[in-house]
Chain A
Amino acid sequence: GENVEQHPSTLSVQEGDSAVIKCTYSDSASNYFPWYKQELGKRPQLIIDIRSNVGEKKDQRIAVTLNKTAKHFSLHITETQPEDSAVYFCAALNFGNEKLTFGTGTRLTIIP
């Protein structure tokens, strides 16, 4: 089955700097890659996603890049703000089996 690895497990950045979180996946058939943000005690919320026919997607301060050959994808957050502090999860899904496999999470702390 699919295995998703996520790094780093914790990340601290100064407010205004950029943050990058990286994930690798094992199943070459995976073709959908969402990123979720989970604040303490709250539900995961989708912040951005990318499909395998696209190499990069951007939404304001958030961008995701995908390298299908290397089987890795990354989340980039620019101009970080205190409200970006949360745990971020990457995930991968194969349209054929609908099973969403999550990474282990990255705890992002923005230092004011």
Chain B
Amino acid sequence: ETGVTQSPTHLIKTRGQQVTLRCSSQSGHNTVSWYQQALGQGPQFIFQYYREEENGRGNFPPRFSGLQFPNYSSELNVNALELDDSALYLCASSYGLAGGNEQFFGPGTRLTVL
């Protein structure tokens, strides 16, 4: 059984650019959730994908978008980057939507926007 992986580990972008972050879910998991964790803060829910469909979204603007692929891996895309987008982006995978299923986090991608 493989754990949750994310790529890249670190990324530096400039304001206005676009970025794509990737997440491979743990074997057997079909749900991926994305979180933004600013320095010194708790993770903030961005959105969740279940079996390739978006299933819930937090308070993030439309320039944050995502995809889930048939193998349940996922991408987070952010357009028109702003300085405040600098954060650690975490994805977490789980099985199903029964609620309360443990979410396993990836190591995160640290995004710096200059």
Report A101-112 CB contacts with B as 1/0, cut-off 8 Å: 111110000000
The residues of B with any CB-CB pair to A shorter than 8 Å are: 4, 31, 33, 35, 40-45, 48, 50, 55-56, 58-59, 90, 97-100, 102-108
Main secondary structure of the interface of B (DSSP, over half): loop
Q: Which candidate, A58-66, A75-83, A90-98, is the interface stretch facing chain B?
A: A90-98
Give the shortest distance, in Å, between B4 (CB) and chain A (any CB).
8
Choose among B42, B50, B58, B59 the residue that contacts A89 (Cβ–Cβ < 8 A): B42
Known contacts A42-B107, A43-B105; is A102 also within 8 Å of B48 by CB?
no
A43 to B104, CA, bound (A): 9
A32 touches B99 (CB 8 A): yes
Residue of chain B at shortest CB distance from A101: B45
Which B residues are CB-close (under 8 A) to A6? 42
A100 to B58, CA, bound (A): 10
